[in-house]
Structure 1
Amino acid sequence: MPLPTTHPAAQLRVGVSVLILNERGEVLLQQRGDDGLWGTPGGGLNPGETFLEAAHRELHEETGLTCPDLHLLPLEEGVVDAPAFHVVSPGRPLTYLVGLRALGHLPTAALDAAHPDDSGETLALAWFPLNDLPPLSGEVNRANLNVLRRRSGLPPLNPACIG
């Protein structure tokens, strides 16, 4: 059953998704501490922070890495918004996610220097080929990876890839 697009207690959360590719075209994913599934680094903006500042901060917090060429994608690829991008948590209001995507490139060996913060948000980090992805956490991550798959000439992922 689809969720209503309007709900009296619904909230909006503004965030950024960080898409990092290596020289082989593999994507950097984090195994998330909340559900054990995989997704792109990212998170909410702090008050007064730009999308790009948030992308750099979230990447560093969740991986310990910095990416000099990180940039926002053009709007047609970069906007994160859809009724399916929601979070349902017990005891919390329905939250819809809106935001932008950032893209950058790092060498495969960069992962050797990765050190996520100790918040427990990241259980593991790994590079994955776009045609062989692990179970993903939520619809936003499927949409994020479909942007990269489209750019690589691959078909979109089906909803069954969501864990």
Structure 2
Amino acid sequence: MFVPAVVTRVMQALFAREGRSLHVRAVGWATLVLGVAMLLGSYAVVAAERGAASANLTTYPRALWWSVETATTVGYGDFYPVTLGGRLVACVLMFVGITTYGMVTAAIATWFVSREQQRQHRLGQALRAGAARGERWVGEEAEAVHARFDRLERMIAAGGGPARGAGGDADG
């Protein structure tokens, strides 16, 4: 009774619509599909390999271990299908496994990117609010550099330009 209750709680936590972002729900569904594919793939490969010469996937525990190896693309080589049906099952497991792990990686990357975007958004809001109150966010050195560039731009626009070849400062 304990295992079904835990499974039920995990399923509710993963697939609840409230409070979960789309990428978290997608990862949950992809992981569920991967688990089912590994369980069914283990059964299917045992059925496909049964009676084949030199078959080494003849029991469900071995096939389950093989399906985990295959879905994660580890592939130790200790177990492998020898029939066409078994190899087709392997292809499906590889595809589902690679897709699932790609989705998990994308979800983690999305989480990092969204946190950075939120941080930059909050910083932008703080800067705009400070500017609206008349606060200054640049130091004296930065203001001096801006003033100097403004003077240079005015000189260039007037046609005077900075002095060249004198080796000295253009604004004196």
Quickly name the TM-score band, shorter chain normalised: under 0.3
Structure with the larger RCO, 1 or 2 (CA within 8 Å, 6+ apart) = 1
The two structures have a TM-score, normalised by structure 2, of 0.19
The two structures have a TM-score, normalised by structure 1, of 0.19
Which has the larger share of strand?
A: 1
* Larger Rg over CA atoms: 2
